[in-house]
Amino acid sequence: MKICICGKGGSGKTTIVTLMADAFGKHGKSVTVLDSDESNSGLFWMLGFEKAPLPLMESLGGKRKVQEKMIAGFSRGQGEPEMAIWEGGALSMASLPSQYVVQREGLALITVGKIYQALEGCACPMGVVAREFLKKVELGPDEVLLVDMDAGIEHFGRGIEASVDAVVCVVEPSLESVSLAHKMKELTGSVGAAFQGAVLNKVTSLAQEASLSEKLQSLNVPILGTIYHHEQIVASCLEGKALDPGQAGLEMERIVRTHFLGDPP
Protein backbone atom coordinates (compact mmCIF):
# COMPACT_ATOMS: atom_id res chain seq x y z
CA MET A 1 0.00 0.00 0.00
CA LYS A 2 1.37 3.40 -1.03
CA ILE A 3 -0.05 6.41 0.83
CA CYS A 4 0.76 10.09 0.15
CA ILE A 5 0.45 12.52 3.05
CA CYS A 6 -0.26 16.06 1.79
CA GLY A 7 -1.23 19.43 3.23
CA LYS A 8 -0.35 23.08 3.60
CA GLY A 9 2.97 24.14 5.05
CA GLY A 10 3.01 23.83 8.82
CA SER A 11 -0.06 21.60 9.04
CA GLY A 12 1.98 18.78 10.57
CA LYS A 13 2.47 16.36 7.68
CA THR A 14 5.74 15.02 9.05
CA THR A 15 4.20 14.43 12.47
CA ILE A 16 1.28 12.58 10.92
CA VAL A 17 3.63 10.46 8.79
CA THR A 18 5.64 9.56 11.90
CA LEU A 19 2.54 8.64 13.89
CA MET A 20 1.15 6.63 10.98
CA ALA A 21 4.42 4.73 10.53
CA ASP A 22 4.33 3.79 14.21
CA ALA A 23 0.68 2.68 13.99
CA PHE A 24 1.20 0.48 10.94
CA GLY A 25 4.31 -1.01 12.55
CA LYS A 26 2.33 -1.99 15.64
CA HIS A 27 0.00 -3.93 13.36
CA GLY A 28 2.82 -5.99 11.90
CA LYS A 29 3.42 -4.02 8.72
CA SER A 30 6.87 -3.35 7.30
CA VAL A 31 6.89 0.43 6.83
CA THR A 32 9.03 2.54 4.53
CA VAL A 33 8.84 6.34 4.67
CA LEU A 34 9.75 8.28 1.53
CA ASP A 35 10.83 11.83 2.41
CA SER A 36 9.73 13.87 -0.61
CA ASP A 37 9.75 17.26 1.12
CA GLU A 38 12.81 19.12 -0.16
CA SER A 39 12.77 21.71 2.63
CA ASN A 40 12.03 19.79 5.86
CA SER A 41 15.17 18.13 7.22
CA GLY A 42 13.84 16.74 10.51
CA LEU A 43 12.01 13.57 9.50
CA PHE A 44 14.92 11.24 10.25
CA TRP A 45 15.19 12.22 13.92
CA MET A 46 11.43 12.24 14.38
CA LEU A 47 11.47 8.60 13.28
CA GLY A 48 14.32 7.83 15.68
CA PHE A 49 17.22 7.55 13.23
CA GLU A 50 20.62 9.08 13.97
CA LYS A 51 21.15 10.29 10.42
CA ALA A 52 19.37 10.53 7.08
CA PRO A 53 20.33 8.25 4.18
CA LEU A 54 21.99 9.53 1.03
CA PRO A 55 19.35 11.01 -1.30
CA LEU A 56 17.99 8.91 -4.15
CA MET A 57 18.98 11.83 -6.37
CA GLU A 58 22.62 10.83 -5.87
CA SER A 59 21.96 7.30 -7.13
CA LEU A 60 20.94 8.88 -10.45
CA GLY A 61 24.08 11.00 -10.78
CA GLY A 62 22.94 14.03 -8.79
CA LYS A 63 20.64 16.95 -9.47
CA ARG A 64 22.54 18.22 -12.51
CA LYS A 65 22.38 14.80 -14.21
CA VAL A 66 18.64 14.55 -13.59
CA GLN A 67 18.19 18.08 -14.97
CA GLU A 68 20.07 17.05 -18.13
CA LYS A 69 17.73 14.10 -18.61
CA MET A 70 14.75 16.40 -18.09
CA ILE A 71 16.05 18.87 -20.69
CA ALA A 72 16.50 15.99 -23.13
CA GLY A 73 12.91 14.93 -22.45
CA PHE A 74 11.59 18.44 -23.03
CA SER A 75 13.49 18.59 -26.34
CA ARG A 76 11.66 15.43 -27.41
CA GLY A 77 8.35 17.10 -26.67
CA GLN A 78 7.70 15.20 -23.43
CA GLY A 79 5.88 16.71 -20.50
CA GLU A 80 7.37 16.30 -17.05
CA PRO A 81 4.90 13.59 -15.91
CA GLU A 82 5.83 11.38 -18.90
CA MET A 83 9.60 11.55 -18.53
CA ALA A 84 11.64 8.45 -17.71
CA ILE A 85 14.90 9.22 -15.96
CA TRP A 86 15.32 5.97 -14.03
CA GLU A 87 16.82 3.15 -16.08
CA GLY A 88 15.73 -0.44 -15.55
CA GLY A 89 12.49 -2.10 -14.55
CA ALA A 90 10.64 -2.52 -11.30
CA LEU A 91 12.24 -1.75 -7.95
CA SER A 92 11.83 -3.41 -4.58
CA MET A 93 12.79 -2.15 -1.16
CA ALA A 94 15.32 -4.98 -0.84
CA SER A 95 17.04 -3.96 -4.10
CA LEU A 96 18.01 -0.47 -2.91
CA PRO A 97 21.72 -0.05 -2.08
CA SER A 98 22.26 0.27 1.68
CA GLN A 99 23.58 3.85 1.53
CA TYR A 100 20.21 5.09 0.24
CA VAL A 101 18.14 3.67 3.09
CA VAL A 102 18.35 3.64 6.88
CA GLN A 103 16.33 1.05 8.71
CA ARG A 104 15.59 -0.66 12.00
CA GLU A 105 12.97 -3.09 13.29
CA GLY A 106 10.63 -3.05 10.31
CA LEU A 107 10.96 0.69 9.66
CA ALA A 108 12.95 2.23 6.81
CA LEU A 109 13.56 5.79 5.60
CA ILE A 110 14.42 6.92 2.07
CA THR A 111 14.89 10.53 1.01
CA VAL A 112 14.53 11.98 -2.47
CA GLY A 113 16.70 15.09 -2.10
CA LYS A 114 16.94 18.47 -0.40
CA ILE A 115 17.61 22.11 -1.21
CA TYR A 116 20.93 22.74 0.52
CA GLN A 117 22.06 26.18 -0.63
CA ALA A 118 20.92 29.45 -2.15
CA LEU A 119 20.66 29.78 -5.95
CA GLU A 120 20.45 25.99 -6.27
CA GLY A 121 17.48 26.17 -8.60
CA CYS A 122 13.98 24.72 -8.45
CA ALA A 123 12.92 21.47 -6.82
CA CYS A 124 11.57 20.03 -10.10
CA PRO A 125 14.19 17.22 -10.32
CA MET A 126 13.16 16.01 -6.84
CA GLY A 127 9.56 15.75 -7.99
CA VAL A 128 10.51 13.76 -11.08
CA VAL A 129 12.61 11.34 -9.02
CA ALA A 130 9.79 10.86 -6.48
CA ARG A 131 7.20 10.28 -9.21
CA GLU A 132 9.25 7.68 -11.01
CA PHE A 133 10.32 5.90 -7.82
CA LEU A 134 6.68 5.54 -6.76
CA LYS A 135 5.82 4.25 -10.21
CA LYS A 136 8.59 1.63 -10.25
CA VAL A 137 8.69 0.38 -6.66
CA GLU A 138 6.72 -2.80 -5.95
CA LEU A 139 5.58 -3.71 -2.45
CA GLY A 140 4.79 -7.01 -0.79
CA PRO A 141 1.41 -7.67 0.87
CA ASP A 142 2.67 -6.62 4.31
CA GLU A 143 4.65 -3.58 3.15
CA VAL A 144 3.43 0.01 3.48
CA LEU A 145 5.07 3.03 1.84
CA LEU A 146 4.24 6.43 3.35
CA VAL A 147 5.21 9.55 1.39
CA ASP A 148 5.86 12.82 3.21
CA MET A 149 5.03 15.27 0.41
CA ASP A 150 6.20 18.84 0.03
CA ALA A 151 3.77 21.56 1.07
CA GLY A 152 0.95 22.70 -1.18
CA ILE A 153 -0.29 21.26 -4.47
CA GLU A 154 2.61 21.63 -6.92
CA HIS A 155 3.37 17.90 -6.71
CA PHE A 156 -0.01 17.12 -8.28
CA GLY A 157 1.18 18.88 -11.44
CA ARG A 158 4.04 16.38 -11.66
CA GLY A 159 1.72 13.38 -11.41
CA ILE A 160 3.38 12.05 -8.26
CA GLU A 161 0.08 10.82 -6.83
CA ALA A 162 -0.78 8.82 -9.98
CA SER A 163 1.08 5.75 -8.66
CA VAL A 164 -0.19 5.64 -5.08
CA ASP A 165 -3.14 3.82 -3.55
CA ALA A 166 -4.40 6.60 -1.31
CA VAL A 167 -3.97 10.31 -0.63
CA VAL A 168 -4.42 11.70 2.87
CA CYS A 169 -4.64 15.44 3.55
CA VAL A 170 -3.57 16.91 6.90
CA VAL A 171 -5.83 19.75 8.01
CA GLU A 172 -4.90 22.16 10.78
CA PRO A 173 -7.36 24.64 12.32
CA SER A 174 -7.36 27.28 9.57
CA LEU A 175 -9.66 28.14 6.69
CA GLU A 176 -6.72 27.99 4.30
CA SER A 177 -6.04 24.40 5.31
CA VAL A 178 -9.71 23.46 4.85
CA SER A 179 -9.83 25.05 1.40
CA LEU A 180 -6.64 23.30 0.36
CA ALA A 181 -8.07 19.93 1.44
CA HIS A 182 -10.99 20.47 -0.92
CA LYS A 183 -8.66 21.37 -3.77
CA MET A 184 -6.50 18.32 -3.08
CA LYS A 185 -9.53 16.07 -3.21
CA GLU A 186 -10.37 17.42 -6.67
CA LEU A 187 -6.78 17.09 -7.91
CA THR A 188 -6.47 13.55 -6.57
CA GLY A 189 -9.44 12.47 -8.64
CA SER A 190 -8.01 14.10 -11.75
CA VAL A 191 -4.83 11.96 -11.58
CA GLY A 192 -6.77 8.74 -11.00
CA ALA A 193 -5.78 8.19 -7.38
CA ALA A 194 -8.08 7.63 -4.39
CA PHE A 195 -8.62 10.46 -1.93
CA GLN A 196 -8.84 8.67 1.42
CA GLY A 197 -9.77 11.72 3.45
CA ALA A 198 -8.53 14.35 5.89
CA VAL A 199 -6.82 13.95 9.24
CA LEU A 200 -7.53 16.87 11.57
CA ASN A 201 -4.34 17.85 13.36
CA LYS A 202 -3.31 20.13 16.24
CA VAL A 203 -6.93 20.43 17.39
CA THR A 204 -7.24 22.10 20.80
CA SER A 205 -10.91 21.60 21.71
CA LEU A 206 -14.09 19.72 20.86
CA ALA A 207 -15.63 22.97 19.65
CA GLN A 208 -12.71 23.49 17.26
CA GLU A 209 -13.01 19.91 16.04
CA ALA A 210 -16.73 20.39 15.41
CA SER A 211 -16.13 23.61 13.48
CA LEU A 212 -13.44 22.03 11.28
CA SER A 213 -15.61 18.97 10.67
CA GLU A 214 -18.58 21.10 9.66
CA LYS A 215 -16.51 23.06 7.15
CA LEU A 216 -14.98 19.94 5.61
CA GLN A 217 -18.30 18.10 5.43
CA SER A 218 -19.85 21.07 3.61
CA LEU A 219 -17.15 20.52 0.95
CA ASN A 220 -17.73 16.74 0.89
CA VAL A 221 -14.24 16.05 2.24
CA PRO A 222 -14.22 12.77 4.22
CA ILE A 223 -12.79 12.97 7.74
CA LEU A 224 -10.60 10.09 8.91
CA GLY A 225 -10.11 11.22 12.49
CA THR A 226 -8.51 13.76 14.79
CA ILE A 227 -5.07 14.17 16.32
CA TYR A 228 -5.34 16.64 19.18
CA HIS A 229 -2.74 19.12 20.35
CA HIS A 230 -0.29 17.36 22.68
CA GLU A 231 2.50 19.14 24.53
CA GLN A 232 4.80 16.11 24.36
CA ILE A 233 4.67 16.25 20.54
CA VAL A 234 5.57 19.95 20.66
CA ALA A 235 8.40 19.23 23.11
CA SER A 236 9.85 16.44 20.91
CA CYS A 237 9.83 18.72 17.87
CA LEU A 238 11.43 21.58 19.79
CA GLU A 239 14.22 19.39 21.19
CA GLY A 240 14.83 17.42 17.98
CA LYS A 241 14.07 14.10 19.64
CA ALA A 242 12.36 10.98 18.33
CA LEU A 243 8.62 11.42 18.53
CA ASP A 244 6.98 9.78 21.54
CA PRO A 245 3.51 8.90 20.21
CA GLY A 246 1.73 8.76 23.58
CA GLN A 247 -1.96 9.68 23.34
CA ALA A 248 -1.49 10.91 19.77
CA GLY A 249 -0.32 7.41 18.88
CA LEU A 250 -3.56 5.93 20.19
CA GLU A 251 -5.54 8.45 18.14
CA MET A 252 -3.59 7.50 15.02
CA GLU A 253 -3.96 3.76 15.69
CA ARG A 254 -7.74 4.25 15.63
CA ILE A 255 -7.49 5.97 12.23
CA VAL A 256 -5.22 3.28 10.76
CA ARG A 257 -7.32 0.38 12.07
CA THR A 258 -10.56 1.85 10.82
CA HIS A 259 -9.62 3.29 7.45
CA PHE A 260 -6.63 1.25 6.27
CA LEU A 261 -6.77 -2.13 7.94
CA GLY A 262 -10.53 -2.64 7.90
CA ASP A 263 -10.85 -3.24 11.66
CA PRO A 264 -13.70 -1.75 13.71
CA PRO A 265 -12.89 1.47 15.57
Cα 217 to Cα 6, 198, 214: the distances in Å are: 19, 10, 5
The CATH number of the structural domain formed by 2-259 is: 3.40.50.300
Residue 119's pLDDT is what? 36
Residue 197's pLDDT is what? 95
Residue 15's pLDDT is what? 93
Cβ contact 150:38 at 8 Å: yes
Single out the residue of 28, 159, 145 nearest to residue 93, CA to CA. 145
Calpha distance 38→56 (Å, rounded) = 12
Calpha distance 136→178 (Å, rounded) = 32
Residue 115's pLDDT is what? 53
Domain segments of the chain: what residues? 2-259
Using 70 as the pLDDT threshold, list the residues of the chain that sit under it: 38-39, 67-68, 70-71, 77-83, 88, 114-125, 152-159, 264-265
Calpha distance 139→146 (Å, rounded) = 12
